[in-house]
Amino acid sequence: MRELTLKAYAKLNLTLDILRKRPDGYHDLAMVMQSVSLADEVTLTLTDTAAIRCESNVEGLPTDERNLAVRAALRFFQETGLPPTGLHIRLVKRIPSCAGMAGGSSDAAAVLRGLRALLLPSLPMEELLRIGALIGSDVPYCICGTTALAEGRGERLTVLAPMPAACFVICKPDFPISTPELFGLVRADAIADRPDTAGMIAALERGDLAAVAARLHNVFEAVLPEKYGEVFAIKRRLLALGALNAAMSGSGPTVYGIFADRSAAEAAQAALSREWGQCWLAQPVRSAEDAV
Ligand code: C5P
């Protein structure tokens, strides 16, 4: 096998809690994560040149080591000790960058999964996850996908019961939010209102969509500077359009609403698209087979 195409799914945070600041500057987190059908496509081709080359359908997207997909390939060879072969990475990007949906991390995860499948199928999954964590905090989760609790920096994973069938309407306002800047605004020990992580896990186990929706909670929303107020405007609009609930994903600015009913979700997406340019309809990715 010389070529492989993989889907790199976006993720949404059903919950995001910040437990404490760590001596290494990172934060210990507890996040219930969900992969969704909005996805990039990553094609890996082994070549006879000695170089790692990358191209994408997005003008201006770095295709050198600033791109996490390229960094993942370099790390894979470094950490496994395999002699680097020539590699061509083609990214068809649909997940917006700097959105809180782990687009870059998901591409990196797809590169790691793909190189393992092409070159080293015997590499244990734990080792792949360890290499993923060297690239970024969300990469280990993106390697596994589906519904999972991510703890520690994001690298300690527990697979959860799959999310019940639902529709997401996802909307990204037109500004980036810097993740380190937002972490800098949080005093972990002063957070009063936290997600009910255990309640979310129990709701998933019961397959109770209303209870899952009721427990969406991202602690970053409470420290969001006023200049990002559009996030709350989109949340309010999603609720007015019939979402069971709505929340910001990760460090934003993407906001999503959960709908039980596909036709209501389609109508909401159409209405939102008239006000905010970037809106998508997506479903939960519910099984690991979907994610490979
Ligand atoms: O690991 P990654 O490079 O994705 O993290 C980006 C930034 O987010 C880090 O430099 C850090 O400021 C912040 N971060 C954090 N705690 C985490 C994950 C990320 O403080 N668990």
Is there an atom of ligand 1 within 6 Å of 103 CB?
A: no
Beta strands at 52-56 and 86-92: parallel, antiparallel or unpaired: parallel
Sequence-distant (6+) residues with CB within 8 A of 48 are 86
Ligand 1 mean position to 211 CA, how many Å? 29
Per-residue model confidence (pLDDT) at position 292: 45
- Give the predicted TM-score (pTM) of the model: 0.96
For a mutational test of ligand 1's pocket, the pick from 19, 27, 131, i.e. the residue with the most ligand atoms closer than 8 A to its C-beta, is 27
Q: For position 27, what pLDDT does the model report?
A: 97
Under a CB-based contact definition with an 8 Å cutoff, are residues 94 and 39 in contact? yes
Percent of the chain with pLDDT over 70: 98
Q: Which residues of the chain have pLDDT under 50?
A: 291-292
| Residue 208 CA to ligand 1 centre (angstroms) | 32
- Residue pair 249/281 in contact by the 8 Å Cβ criterion: no
At 288 the pLDDT is 66
pLDDT of residue 49: 86
What CA–CA distances, in Å, run from 234 to 81, 91, 146, 237, 291? 47, 29, 26, 5, 29
- pLDDT of 290 reads 52
Q: What is the pLDDT of residue 277?
A: 81
